[in-house]
Amino acid sequence: MANELIRRIVIVGGGSAGWLTAGLIAAEHRAASPEGLRVTLVESPDVAPIGVGEGTWPSMRDTLRRIGVSESDFFRECDASFKQGSRFNGWRTGAADDYYFHPFVLPQGYGEANMPEHWLARHADVPFADMVSYQPHLCARGKAPKQAATPEFAAVANYGYHLDAGKFGQFLRKHCLENLGVQYVPDHVTGIDSAANGDIAALRTQRHGALEGDLFIDCTGMQSLLLGKHYDIDFLSQKHVLYNDSALAVQIPYPDANHPIASQTTSTAQSAGWIWDIGLPGRRGVGHVYSSAHIGDDQAEAELRAYIAATGGPADIPAPRKLSFDPGYRAKFWHRNCVAIGLSAGFIEPLEASALALVEMSAGMLSDDMPATRAAMDIVARRFNEHFTYRWERVIDFLKLHYVLSRRRDSAYWRDNTAAVPERLGELLTLWRHRAPSRSDFNRIEEVFPSASYQYVLYGMGHTTEFTKQHPHEAAMADGYFREAAALTQKMLGALPANRELIEHIKRHGLRP
């Protein structure tokens, strides 16, 4: 059995996680040909996806390209828009002028000069990201990250997407079934048959009988039907570090059809959490993420409604959808011949849109390292578990960084968030008192967040580094990069269209392949 070839892949659960995984494996392992892997996705017709993961990283461009979809079709069918980073309002002090950007482009001069040192020495009155990057200025003016003549998936400024998660799942399903050879079984899983060695041998379904497979992928969401319920793999709650465990989500219409579309996710701090605001072509997606230990649902909804009214939304909005979650992840993501991807592997909170990015990373690594035999599977599983334990820990560190640096003391939530700092993050903060985050702090080839992201958040939140090792010989070079960022800002502001203008062009005419 150990030398039997892996030929049959069975994915349980659809949504963005299931169909992204199915698409990557089917595209790269020739599921549409007799010689390729057989990829089957079984999905309960009565279980709707959660459907609120509306933000992506720039990595999604490469993922969609690997699957073989058209970016023009993606925009048309998924109500998609461009995302160039995140804007954080009120996180540092809560004052009216308290904001900073975490853009997707690297700082000018990143890796060439110690830009934080020279920014602090001579330009600390200007926000760090605004000084070293053109992208915050594009976001502030609602600019698109490319021109109408720029080909599909190519960029002038680095970008990801905002999207309608429900439409995205349907778009991927259609592509997988029509173009990639994925077999679809809309049915309920009623039981699991085990092999003599403890592997999963087959899934029992209500109408289609037993679905046999060699490798089973759990995309069943928070119920984690295979890895959690069948194999009883421990769930490692992180609620002692990151307190948010609830969300209220609602969709808000624009006041008119030509209303500008935001170029970034906006995250606005509240008394016991924060509110996301995502602009799609047809609507805004708005939601309040909060800690149920620090605020009740009614007060959280009141803060959400007040935010919507203050940002030009209608006075009468539908009742928000309530979501509850335990922030954390599985002790293992791959056990025997079962691997969990998506919410079945874990979920922290939507800050910085890491959920879909971890799906992409998981599906990508699985496709790249697809084991040829059962004997090879245990080796791949160990590597996969090591990689993703590291990645989940880094996500937690990075998200906690946003909270621990806050100077807000206006509620118990913000006071409590300065405690319970993960050990590795605490060590890094000690080092960063006297030097900037650097590549040596995050030295894996595929880090979840690069040191540039830590710089944007660290200095956006008002951290001051007292550099013990200074680089005065770099001052002229750094000034050149500051001027370069300013020149690129003016050039791009004059050359790039508005977000809505480019999206409307894509819908009518498409982009060049």
Nearest to 462 by CA among 141, 137, 84, 94: 94
**Cα 36 from Cα 38, distance rounded (Å):** 6
**Cα 323 from Cα 52, distance rounded (Å):** 10
The yes-or-no verdict on residue 50 having pLDDT over 90 is no
Which domains are present in the chain?
8-48+166-240+327-385 (3.50.50.60)
The yes-or-no verdict on residue 358 having pLDDT over 70 is yes
**Cα 424 from Cα 408, distance rounded (Å):** 23
| pLDDT band at 53; cut points 50, 70, 90 | low
Tell me the pLDDT tens digit for each residue of 263-304: 999 999 999 999 999 999 999 999 999 999 999 999 999 999
The yes-or-no verdict on residue 49 having pLDDT over 70 is no
Looking at residue 500, its pLDDT comes to 98
Looking at residue 3, its pLDDT comes to 75
Alpha helix ranges (H) inside 80-227? 115-122, 128-132, 135-140, 165-179
The yes-or-no verdict on residue 436 having pLDDT over 90 is yes
| Percent of the chain surpassing pLDDT 70 | 98
**Cα 497 from Cα 158, distance rounded (Å):** 15
| pLDDT band at 315; cut points 50, 70, 90 | confident
The stretch 75-96 carries a mean pLDDT of 98
Looking at residue 47, its pLDDT comes to 73
* Mean of all residue pLDDT scores within the chain: 96
The owner of tokens 């590549």 is 439
| pLDDT band at 51; cut points 50, 70, 90 | low
Q: Is 33 exposed, middle or buried (0-12, 13-18, 19+ CB in 10 A)?
A: exposed
Tell me the pLDDT tens digit for each residue of 98-144: 999 999 999 999 999 999 999 999 999 999 999 999 999 999 999 99
Looking at residue 52, its pLDDT comes to 59
> Which three-class secondary structure string do you get for 357-422?
HHHHHHHHHHHHCCCCEHHHHHHHHHHHHHHHHHHHHHHHHHHHHHHHCCCCCCCHHHHHCCCCCC
- Residue 249 pairs in a beta bridge with 287, 321
Looking at residue 386, its pLDDT comes to 97
The stretch 472-493 carries a mean pLDDT of 97
Tell me the pLDDT tens digit for each residue of 337-356: 999 999 999 999 999 999 99
| pLDDT band at 443; cut points 50, 70, 90 | confident
pTM, entire model:
0.96
